[in-house]
Structure 1
Amino acid sequence: MQTETGTEEQDIKLVMAGHVDHGKSTIIGRLLADTDSLPEGKLEQVKENCRKNSKPFEYAFLLDALKDEQSQGITIDSARVFFETDYRKYIILDAPGHIEFLKNMVTGAAKAEAALLVIDAAAGVQENSRRHGYMLSMLGIDQIAVLVNKMDLVDYDREVYEDIKAEYSQFLEEIDIEPETFVPVSGFEGDNLIDNSENMSWYEGRTVLDILESFENEKLPADKPFRLPVQDVYKFTKGGDDRRIVAGTVESGSIEVGDEIAFYPSGKKSAVKSIEGFNEPEHKSVGVGQATGLTLEEQIYITRGEVATKNGEMKPETGSRLRANIFWLGEEPLKKDKTYDLKLNTSRSRARLEEIKRTIDASDLSQRQDKEKVDRHDVAEVVLDLDEAISFDLSGELTNTSRFVLVDDYEIAGGGIIQEPLKDEHSWVREKVMLRNYKWESSRISRERRAEKYSQQPTMVLITGEEDVGKKPTAKALEQQLFNDGKVVYFLGIGNVLYGVDADIKHAEENHKQEHLRRLAEVSNIMLDAGTILIVTAIEIRQQDLELIETTVDSRQIETVWIGENITTDVSYDLHIPSFEDEQESAHRIKQLLQDRGIIFKPW
């Protein structure tokens, strides 16, 4: 749509927020009617339905798309509503105000560029009025106008309006929100929506439509560092097509063919060979907001959840411990003894609440530093511990790659923004791994070609347990069985590493154990890159030891086996062999595990 100056004006996304029954849907319905944005005859049809059912007409009925909403008298889903003026088009997200549907409001607000926050003049400022204001603040929506609705029910009393304005302005000031303006309105009567109302001659400010047309479109982060969260990697084989296409949507910045890119948290790098689109010709570049596919000059192995970045630009943060501000909406409180799913863009990790630094009641801004859980509707500053490292940006730098949601039992129960990464026990290893991957010189022989040639998937078989329970005999028997089957396999005893690669480290000192494990993992990584099945034995591996190894070696390439009746550590194992009686039998059981996992061929 062209503006008066001849420039192209983008559609703008708005969210309508406010307490239940404060009249959001009525305001939207009246805007639709008064801007002639309804389908022809729709208004008359709704009025006729009301007449037939002996029901007073409400403009809110224009929005009630769900069958049961009119009977409940509340809007229970974030409805997308469209209307337009001579200036531009608007997309309104009608966010529910009922406390049971507060999470829908968050979903709607997260997509909006501006907000109209509605307060009932007769009811005054309510808890949800404050909560919604706080959440809009957390979501970074700073274009907000407050509509004091239903002024007709208070006889257009200016004093009522001024009292609400003063009370809510004070609250907004405390959470660092400066609204565009306050407007006294009547959604039902249409006062101050499109034209200034004669019923409130004391109000000389702008109408709601004037304010809407003054809202500015959020600038796309085209000038920000390039970020493309990896949605999937597609492999083609038909007709000799051997492309691997990295697919995702550009969240910020842009990329061109030939640009060097790196993926995080792995740190692997390559260059853009081509930019693909579905049923489209190849592009030379791609920018923010576009769904696309990239092929790379070097066939590196990356997975869903990694973030593509452009070399020379600001790198994302990487870590598994995060300080974050969250809002909690779950039925059950956020607790330390439970695990949740954290979803950020395309990544998904298991997360635990490590620490509650403080909680804030969003309705009155009271704070506590002694709570052991985060209750429903609380806002909190917390430390989250993830089961694996993810890459992200900070809330003040790139918005889309700093927001996350927390899932509890398949339901979105909360969300938040990341404030900073915190050190974890494997940060020092992760930094070395990212540098190694960035500097890695790839072979011309891809991982897939080796797997096809050897008829096996490269895998580390980690056999652990107490001393003298048959680990080494089993490992050597497994190596022999797989070798006889034609597999590329190698047994690596821990001593082979300790007295070779680790010869410069004192073996007896406990504080060197992590470095021993890191070097073992690096040797294993090279062997796996060569396509081998690597069999390693080690005494009583702990979960933290395994996690250190998994920082260096992809966890999907590790199968852990515990031999012996007594399980003396907390390690997560894939197979338990409780009693060792025969090395060939134990080896056969591990071989069956590899067959079941598709690592080696399973004969019919």
Structure 2
Amino acid sequence: MTGTPSTDGIYPVVILGHVDHGKSTLIGRLLHDTGRLPDGKLAELEAAAKRRGAALEWAHVTDALQLERDQGITVDTTRIWFPTAARTYQIIDAPGHAEFLRNAVTGAAAAEAAILLVDIARGLEAQTRRHAYLARLLGIRRLIVAVNKMDLVDYASARYTQVTTELEGYLSEIGLEADFMVPISARHGDGVAAPSADMRWWTGPTLLQALDALPDTAAPRERALRLPVQDIYRRDDKRILVGRIEAGRVRVGDTVDIAPGGQQAKVAGLETWNGAVQLAATAGESVALTLDKPVFVERGHVLVAPAAPAAQSHAVAVRLFWLDRTPLKPGDRLTFKHLTASYPVTVEAIRHLVDVETLAEQPADEVPQNAVADLVLRSTRPIVFDAHDEDAVTGRGVLVRDYRVAGGCLLLEGADTVKAQNITAVSTSVGPAERAAANGHLGGVIWLTGLSGAGKSTLAMGAQSLLFSRGWQVTVLDGDNLRHGLNRDLGFSAEERAENIRRTAEVAKLFADSGMIVVVSLISPARADRAAAREVAGAHFREVHVRADLSVCEARDPKGLYAKARAGQIPNFTGVSAPYEEPEAPDLVIDTGRDSVEAALARLVDHVDQQFGRGTASLRLTGGIAAG
């Protein structure tokens, strides 16, 4: 009897191939020949065939829709659990008709292995090539080719050799290799579950034996940790992260990085439903774990091994199989679903189309339906991934348009890497020493961080005025001003704040490299983001914590933001509904709740002078500067 067994040890296999090549017939025959049909199903099929005045069709075992019965095609994926002595399979019958390739992608994306069905009489057709390419595109590494309808060529070995030779050549060109190629006749049962008396020349396995001989595709335990976060639950005072380990292993006490963002924490414990003690888990297991500190984590984040981080990029190069009737064009906006994350993305560039017949690359301004193309996607949030050649699971995803799967793709590499291949850095004609000699000071980045209302902007503008009056080259990068221009496309999610800080740091570095003092005024609440900014700016970077108690900042409320946040009008407001992580080891702390503006400004300018003034005396402050 077929049914739905435990999900433990399930081996999902997708059946792919051109329409009418016999996929559903194969499944029905396989179930019948191994005694796995439900009780009464055979009698039901025979009665239905008699009423229609037609021969019994094994495809009707899986073709549940009347449309399919009437037209003799499969339009939706059908899943049947099929146990053998070796293992339990989840057989996925994916549509072969060109109009229904979207459902084939849905089925193939969940599979560990594929059976590619080829009609011996019709040979390697375009749709068969597309399905083979699709298997490669979705990272399927285990492949059985079932050469069907051998009865139509009188079970001739010569025709079998001709077709399989042609297919082997194509598979090799797209980077696939079949584990087995098996001649069968699904309608008559030859070579499916038992050897065929009409193919005594065939000494290889039956299709069922080939399935059972596929190597176990258990998740790679020895690779670096990749644990996508599926959800976060709260139990009492615990925040419990749940997800499936895609690669590697995790143990209590392990240090993990949370990507994107670079926050780091230790695994405090592994939770179990019955309270049993669990100290470790490996790839393929679903886990619930707690961390030793309250770092920001949400669905779509990935826990990774610090020694082997995943790639993170706002722009990624992908190889796409496009399914939507509306062609894909540069500038189109879609949703990229990858692991447990959903990223809003824009098509930045179409690099070329790939001809699935010849594999030649062709320039194009758009990607038509059922075409394969290499293109660049840009996301407002960093995409965490591994290149598909390194990991087939974390290196693939799907594109969604209007809530429908519109394409499947392989992640090739970060697009910044792609661009860098054709870019050569140009050396500056004026070096740091020459700029310092002319300016009388070095270039530097003074990064002011603190709560809204702590006085960052007041100190930044005051320092700019004093340093400028002294003849220094100085500018201010203020968070609000940047969001009116450079960063106007960014919101206030954790990922978008991280990108806001990254862009600001890159600009600050350019100014500092040109010999300027850059005073940055940003709340920048996350330590990891400030650490990333320090990494970008390098030796130029100095972190200054402009400190003031929340009550002091809220009492000042110079922009009325705290009042709006308390009224629920501003979500994720730092200090009210979002956390602020104070610097652990800043280069300077200025307490504006204790010091006057003049005293705070004197400390800041003295610090700038000591760090970048090349030994010149500290500034003497004259007059006062009103707080803004």
Q: Give the alignment's TM-score, normalised by structure 1.
A: 0.71
Query: Which runs of structure 2 are paired with 1:340-379 in the superposition (5 Å)?
Result: 340-368=334-362, 370-379=363-372
Measure the CA separation in 1 of the matches of 2:496 and 2:561: 27
**Distance change (3 Å), C-alpha of 1:47 and 1:507:** farther
Which of 304, 326, 351 is the equivalent residue of 1:332? 326
Query: Which runs of structure 2 are paired with 1:394-413 in the superposition (5 Å)?
Result: 394-413=387-406
Measure the CA separation in 2 of the matches of 1:104 and 1:503: 66
Measure the CA separation in 2 of the matches of 1:18 and 1:56: 23
Q: Give the alignment's TM-score, normalised by structure 2.
A: 0.69
8 Å contact kept, 1:361–1:377: no
Query: Which runs of structure 2 are paired with 1:325-474 in the superposition (5 Å)?
Result: 325-368=319-362, 370-423=363-416
1:215-249: CA deviation from partner (whole Å, max 9, x where unpaired): 1111321111112212233334xxxx211222222
Residue number in structure 2 paired with 1:308: 303
Amino acid of the structure 2 residue aligned with 1:404:
G
Structure 2 residue runs of 5 or longer lacking an equivalent are 1-7, 421-448, 502-557, 577-628
The count of aligned residue pairs is 480
**Distance change (3 Å), C-alpha of 1:588 and 1:371:** same
Residue number in structure 2 paired with 1:318: 312
Measure the CA separation in 1 of the matches of 2:159 and 2:469: 78
Which of 459, 472, 482 is the equivalent residue of 1:496? 459
Residue number in structure 2 paired with 1:221: 220
**Distance change (3 Å), C-alpha of 1:411 and 1:499:** same
1:372-412: CA deviation from partner (whole Å, max 9, x where unpaired): 11222222222211112122122122322221111111111
Query: Which runs of structure 2 are paired with 1:271-310 in the superposition (5 Å)?
Result: 271-278=266-273, 280-310=275-305
Which of 484, 505, 519 is the equivalent residue of 1:541? 484
Q: Secondary structure at the match of 1:189?
A: coil
Structure 1 residue runs of 5 or longer lacking an equivalent are 1-8, 428-459, 462-487, 522-536, 558-585
Query: Which runs of structure 2 are paired with 1:180-195 in the superposition (5 Å)?
Result: 180-195=179-194
Measure the CA separation in 2 of the matches of 1:212 and 1:57: 26
Query: Which runs of structure 2 are paired with 1:17-166 in the superposition (5 Å)?
Result: 17-166=16-165
TM superposition shift of 1:598: 5.5
TM superposition shift of 1:112: 2.2
TM superposition shift of 1:290: 2.6
Q: Secondary structure at the match of 1:183?
A: strand
Residue 253 in structure 1 maps to residue 248 in structure 2: yes
**Distance change (3 Å), C-alpha of 1:364 and 1:538:** closer
Measure the CA separation in 2 of the matches of 1:317 and 1:163: 43
Amino acid of the structure 1 residue aligned with 2:350:
I
Measure the CA separation in 2 of the matches of 1:131 and 1:41: 37
1:183-230: CA deviation from partner (whole Å, max 9, x where unpaired): 322111111222322223343333222222221111321111112212
8 Å contact kept, 1:324–1:420: yes
Amino acid of the structure 2 residue aligned with 1:595:
A
TM superposition shift of 1:548: 11
Amino acid of the structure 2 residue aligned with 1:597:
Q
Q: Secondary structure at the match of 2:487?
A: helix
1:564-590: CA deviation from partner (whole Å, max 9, x where unpaired): xxxxxxxxxxxxxxxxxxxxxx97799
Amino acid of the structure 2 residue aligned with 1:316:
A
Amino acid of the structure 2 residue aligned with 1:56:
A
8 Å contact kept, 1:493–1:538: no
1:283-334: CA deviation from partner (whole Å, max 9, x where unpaired): 22222223322222211222222111234x3111111011222211112122
Q: Secondary structure at the match of 2:211?
A: helix
Q: Secondary structure at the match of 1:302?
A: coil
8 Å contact kept, 1:317–1:391: yes
8 Å contact kept, 1:15–1:92: yes
TM superposition shift of 1:158: 3.7
Residue 234 in structure 1 maps to residue 206 in structure 2: no
Q: Which moved more, 1:332-341 or 1:66-75?
A: 66-75
Query: Which runs of structure 2 are paired with 1:482-493 in the superposition (5 Å)?
Result: 490=453, 492=455
Measure the CA separation in 2 of the matches of 1:552 and 1:55: 62
The RMSD of aligned alpha carbons is 3.6
TM superposition shift of 1:282: 4.7
Measure the CA separation in 2 of the matches of 1:269 and 1:169: 47
Measure the CA separation in 1 of the matches of 2:470 and 2:82: 73
Amino acid of the structure 2 residue aligned with 1:170:
G
8 Å contact kept, 2:564–2:570: no
8 Å contact kept, 2:261–2:495: no
TM superposition shift of 1:540: 8.0
Measure the CA separation in 1 of the matches of 2:337 and 2:471: 42
Residue number in structure 2 paired with 1:595: 567
TM superposition shift of 1:342: 1.1
**Distance change (3 Å), C-alpha of 1:14 and 1:502:** farther
TM superposition shift of 1:341: 0.9
Q: Which moved more, 1:262-271 or 1:587-596?
A: 587-596
Measure the CA separation in 2 of the matches of 1:411 and 1:82: 26
Amino acid of the structure 1 residue aligned with 2:403:
Y
8 Å contact kept, 2:219–2:246: no
1:333-378: CA deviation from partner (whole Å, max 9, x where unpaired): 221122111111122221111122221022442320x211122222
Measure the CA separation in 2 of the matches of 1:185 and 1:113: 22
**Distance change (3 Å), C-alpha of 1:591 and 1:61:** same
Q: Which moved more, 1:28-37 or 1:189-198?
A: 189-198
8 Å contact kept, 2:328–2:366: yes
Amino acid of the structure 2 residue aligned with 1:188:
R
8 Å contact kept, 1:362–1:379: yes
Amino acid of the structure 2 residue aligned with 1:250:
I
Identity value in percent: 33
Q: Which moved more, 1:284-293 or 1:323-332?
A: 284-293
8 Å contact kept, 2:353–2:373: yes
Query: Which runs of structure 2 are paired with 1:575-590 in the superposition (5 Å)?
Result: none
8 Å contact kept, 1:352–1:384: yes
